[in-house]
Structure 1
């Protein structure tokens, strides 16, 4: 698969700022990938997305999206992307379909018509297809002031896909949603991704949402500080460890030293499992245990360690 996003030595410096908001970053995204761009507030995520989506000018660097140079073909770039912002941007006075229709007309994909019935057959078919995938087909002609937060998010996804973008930018797409709505929304996003073959570019503070990404880039203080698949990032940075405790804690510690196990004594004892079989380690401990748990690291564990290490570098 070819590169659908190609960013080389991107820099953004604001007037009077002492440091660059985006500081010489380079990355690429393959067509059809689920790409996650992570970082704390103020790290440069929003600035980068604003540049890629043509709403903010860059200071220097080269950027291409869907084969179009950002400097030379902004109009074509805009036609190639869809955006779901952190804050809803729907017109509350319109129906769901009217919100979608005016968005489609603004992009120049479908010619103007005053009502749904006068729109092209291609547009009508797309509305029915997407509304069914997203589970809002029964509500598509209702005023969106009657919609729940989750339904409005689904409508925003539909609106962002109506012009058949090659890249979908998701900026905190589940912000403000309850856990069930978040789960359902991701189910729909994955269905849309498969059916539309859309590249997804995600920013989120819910790190579990990025676990399913093909690639993850972590930005801090304007610089890329880590990149790779979620499993690669976790494997390189975070150790699997065994949490144990015993009423005979001194005896347990003495035994662990004799077994030459690498461990830390905290509230519980953390035994480093890197390169070791957990079951063999457990069976080698003869001191009676009153607590036992195997900790498998998450992407959030790795992310927090990366950011903390970078902040102290």
Structure 2
């Protein structure tokens, strides 16, 4: 007959306490990932842009139309819905609920009920549009493949092109941004231009980074961040600070930038996304949750959930625990 071992109660309780204490030292909860594809009624898995509106609806641009996700279902938009063209290059969501779709054949504005389209037939300078930005009161700036178009609040069109060295630095304008001081910034394939009160200033970045600019972003402190083919550039006054793979960035090709409520920056690249809190870096790629590495858009909703568009695998939502 087996012999029973007698263990003092105090020793048994101490062992339980030790295990419980060990449990509390487990690293913080890892983020959770939720994936959305055409199997969930997303219009296409080839994402080109993603934005969140004030009501936490997620707007998604693709190469075959657009989708809106309300948290439970997708609503899809195509040319038959009113979209001027199926290939959406970028989305802009306004505070009054309008959604602007920059496409390869003009721009569409959707106000939740009706559509308004802008092409060269009604004033737009060039149909290939990369991005739309807004200047108070109601001036609209269009970054295009041939200069910049601006529609003012009187319904008048104005056009800006490269002219010698006194205006726009290059005519292929990939990104446009109006910052908190009403400066207009234009990211091109060959440098950066700034337009303020009728005066132009241009910046060549090749001493710090590559001059090919994908995206412009103004952070919570109204400081400018520039995503380029050679890394990220942070403009602080007249000084420029470059961040590259040498600093912790996952890839130097930075196509998208966002910032969450804690001030962390998110940089979307062809090799995944990098999160930067000002001193430390985190990386998300196929090895720890992403369905693929090429990130084609970043949106952050009111709950600090991070929504990523991917080149061929739809949308992924990252929920950070105990942030």
Same fold, TM-score > 0.5, yes or no = no
- What TM-score, normalized to structure 2? 0.27
Which structure features the higher share of strand residues? 2
> Which structure is richer in relative contact order (CA contacts within 8 A, separation 6 or more)?
1
TM-score, scaled relative to structure 1: 0.28
Q: Of Structure 1 and Structure 2, which has the larger fraction of its residues in helix?
A: 1
